[in-house]
Amino acid sequence: MELQSVSKVYRMGRAKVTALSNVNLRIEAGERVAMIGPSGSGKSTLLNIVGLLDKPTSGKVFFRGRNVESMDLDEASVIRRRHIGFVFQQFHLVPWLTALENVELPMAIAEVPGSKRKKRASDLLKSVGLGHRHHHKPNEMSGGEQQRVAIARAMANEPSVILADEPTGNVDSRTGIEIAELLKEVCEARMVTLVLVTHNYDLVNVLAQRELLLRDGMIVKEVRA
């Protein structure tokens, strides 16, 4: 992924709010990058642009060599579905579905045949240590277990990129480290690119090969592990 001179400006009535200002960034395949910074620094906006959930006001974004500006909404949606997995702080599991059904859901949307998606969902749950939780619903699992389901779901369509927004924000510190180690293991095993937004330096230390510090919509510091 590559961003060239990317800026994002939001209009709030007559006021303009600059969320990103002239950001240049290149993320290589298989790289694990952490974005940190205070609230309002532009981390989530940058993650949304990298994940093709938002478009910049100016500048260019390239995903796997393609200029995102040339894509229509349907094409961007297909690329997100096929190439990008999302892990959120709030888990965002469907409460009335079992763990297995939650992991199957992205594959169902991608029209993967039922028998194939059920087997892959089962294998993914086993890979995150939840082979015994196939038929449990989210309210029957701990926060750490729910996030493991969310990681399995993010891997459902074999993405090349995982975007993680505060993935350990709703679990205790010990579980957070376990989640971080699991994400690292998953990404290394499958050569998946990871872009992480977090305030948790323990998570950064476990996961990141490169750390970007954002402030006032700009990358002000870059550190390689």
Considering only 13-27, 62-76, 140-154, 204-218, which range has the smallest mean pLDDT? 62-76
What is the pLDDT confidence band of residue 56, given thresholds at 50, 70 and 90? very high
- First vs last C-alpha separation in the chain: 20
The Cα 116–Cα 139 span in angstroms is 27
| Domain chopping of the chain, boundaries | 31-56+71-224
Euclidean distance between CA atoms 83 and 165, whole angstroms: 17
pLDDT band, very low/low/confident/very high, at 171 (cuts 50, 70, 90) = confident
For 101, other C-beta atoms within 10 Å of its C-beta total: 17
Crossing angle, helix 143-154 and helix 99-109, to 10 degrees? 20
Per-residue confidence (pLDDT) for residue 32, from 0 to 100: 95
What is the pLDDT averaged over residues 77-83? 87
- pLDDT category at 43 given cuts 50, 70, 90 is very high
Cβ atoms of residues 180 and 202 within 8 Å: yes
**pLDDT for the residue numbered 11:** 86
- In one-letter notation, the amino acid at residue 117 is R
- Residue 218 pLDDT grade (very low, low, confident, very high; cuts 50, 70, 90): very high
**CA pair distance 151, 224, nearest whole angstrom:** 25
Which pTM does this prediction carry? 0.88
Reply yes or no on domain 31-56+71-224 having CATH 2.40.50.40. Answer: no
193 contacts 29 by C-beta, under 8 angstroms: yes
Q: Are 148 and 91 in contact (CB under 8 A)?
A: no
Q: Is the pLDDT of residue 35 over 90?
A: yes
User: In the chain, how many H helices and how many E strands?
Assistant: 7, 10
Res 42 pLDDT > 80 = yes
Sheet holding 66-67, edge to edge: 15-26, 2-12, 58-63, 66-67
Q: Let me know if 174 is exposed, middle or buried by CB neighbors in 10 A (0-12, 13-18, 19+).
A: exposed
Query: Is the pLDDT confidence value at 225 over 80?
Result: no
Each residue of 38-69: b (16+ CB within 10 Å) or e?
eeebbbbbbbbbbbbebebeebebebeeeebe
Strand residues in 84-174 grouped as ranges (E): 84-88, 161-165
pLDDT in tens, 116-145: 999 999 999 998 888 898 999 999 999 889
Q: How, if at all, do strands 210-215 and 218-224 pair?
A: antiparallel
